[in-house]
Structure formats: structure tokens, C-alpha cells
């Protein structure tokens, strides 16, 4: 690990203070925004730090890495979430190894995940990843495709759609990055509201915002920010 638990705890408190300040600006309750510790590329001790500090979940980018860490420390009281791009041929391993998959971005994944969840004998929680910022460098369904993707996901009996996820584009300057993030996160919230009204499903989870853009994410209604660098330092 590149930091001690004491350093991690101080950083986590600082991130929570940022979340609380952003909530205060918009009249939100900080309890409505979860801090998800992104432990990708860090050893299993990173997840242990998160659990010790009272965080409820950790995020991993790669199926094999996340599954291996979870197997190292099965006693940790954590929800393990896959936040990285998921290849279809790893759908079964992902369904078996994670509590929720945030990166469901195309129709092909749905039947594979549904079958895998049926084999596991439990519902699998998912988020639909939407490229709300129209960034060619990012994964995610086009917003125009989201209604059909949601309909197909809701038709899968072993999947539970909790909401939506997105990653904002990066700009050439800090000001441009902030503007892009603000527009991306607002677009995702508006899309969620439209889809929820159309289907009658609340879709409560909006996973958006990371170390550099959590404030505009919280302002737009994020219910979960995914933070790695501000907690563990640079990799």
C-alpha cells in the first residue's frame, strides 16, 4: 500500500467533507451520497481500510482482480461492485464474483448476466452505463439507446436494475472539464427521470462523480461517487 490506514482515514474524512459541502450547496442530505472506494490496482488491504472506516462498498475495474481480492478476504463486510468495462465472455465470472455490476452498456450482456444470475440462485443488481457526455473515449450506451436497453433489462427475471452510471469527459482546461461534467451529470439525471416516469420504476441509483468532479455530480443528484485517487493516492 502507498498509504497507511491513518492516512486513508484522514483522506476519507476529507472526501466526506467535500460531499457534505456540496450537499449543503444544494440542500441535500449527505447521507444520500455514498462514498464508494475504488480499490483497483491496489492490494486487498485497500478494501480492508475501507471496511475498517465504515464504508459499505468497493469498486473494481477488472473481473479477475476483483474476484481474487474478494477471495483473499471473504470476511470483509463489503459490497463488491464492478465499475469497469465488462466483456461478454466474463459475464458469468462477474455475476458470481460481484454484488453489483455498474457497467452494463449493451444488449448482448443482458442474457448472459441473467443466465449467470439464475445459476447463482440470486438476483443480480446492475446499473446501466450511459455515455451521457457523448465521449468517444468512454464506454456506455448512447442515451438514445437507453430506453430499449432498460426495457430489455427489466424483462430479465434475474436482474435488478438499480439505476444508471456515467463517466464525464475530460476537457482541455479545468473550467472546460467542470462544464462538461456539469452537463453530463445533469443529462444523466434528466434521462433517469424520463425513464423512471416512462416505466414506473424509480431507478434510485445515480453513480456519477469521481475524485476530480464529485461536486458537480452531487449537485446534479449523484447517489454514489466513485473515488480512488483522493483516498489511496496515485497508483
Q: Domain ranges in the chain?
A: 5-232
Q: Within 4-130, where are the H helices?
A: 5-26, 44-52, 63-72, 91-97, 109-120
Q: What is the pLDDT of residues 183-200, one digit of tens each?
A: 999 999 999 999 999 999
Task: Classify domain 5-232 by CATH number.
Answer: 3.20.20.10
Positive or negative torsion for Cα 221, 223, 228, 231: positive
pLDDT-derived band at 234, boundaries 50, 70, 90: confident
| Whether residue 95 has pLDDT greater than 70 | yes
Mean pLDDT of 205-211: 97
> 142 CB contacts (<8 Å, ≥6 apart)?
130, 131, 134
Mean residue pLDDT of the chain comes to 96
pLDDT-derived band at 233, boundaries 50, 70, 90: confident
Q: Residue length, the chain?
A: 235
Amino acid at each position: 500500500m502507498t498509504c497507511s490506514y491513518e492516512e486513508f482515514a484522514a483522506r476519507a474524512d476529507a472526501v466526506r467533507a467535500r460531499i457534505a459541502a456540496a450537499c449543503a450547496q444544494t440542500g441535500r442530505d449527505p447521507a444520500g451520497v455514498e462514498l464508494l472506494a475504488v480499490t483497483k490496482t491496489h492490494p486487498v488491504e485497500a478494501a480492508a481500510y475501507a471496511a475498517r472506516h465504515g464504508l459499505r462498498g468497493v469498486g473494481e475495474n477488472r473481473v479477475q482482480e476483483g474476484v481474487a481480492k474478494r477471495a483473499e478476504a471473504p470476511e470483509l463486510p463489503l459490497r463488491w461492485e464492478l465499475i469497469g468495462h465488462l466483456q461478454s465472455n466474463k459475464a458469468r465470472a462477474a455475476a458470481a464474483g460481484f454484488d453489483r455490476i455498474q457497467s452494463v452498456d449493451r444488449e448482448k450482456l443482458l442474457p448472459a448476466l441473467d443466465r449467470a444470475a439464475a445459476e447463482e440462485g440470486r438476483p443480480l443488481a446492475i446499473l446501466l452505463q450511459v455515455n451521457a457526455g457523448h465521449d468517444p473515449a468512454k464506454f456506455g450506451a448512447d442515451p438514445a439507446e437507453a430506453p430499449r436497453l432498460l426495457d430489455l433489462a427489466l424483462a430479465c427475471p434475474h436482474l435488478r436494475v438499480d439505476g444508471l452510471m456515467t463517466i464525464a469527459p475530460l476537457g482541455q482546461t479545468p473550467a472546460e472539464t467542470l462544464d462538461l461534467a456539469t452537463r453530463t451529470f445533469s443529462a444523466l439525471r434528466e434521462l433517469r427521470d424520463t425513464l423512471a416516469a416512462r416505466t414506473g420504476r424509480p431507478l434510485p441509483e445515480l453513480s456519477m462523480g469521481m475524485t476530480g468532479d464529485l461536486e458537480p455530480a452531487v449537485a446534479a443528484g449523484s447517489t454514489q461517487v466513485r473515488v480512488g485517487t483522493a483516498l489511496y493516492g496515485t497508483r
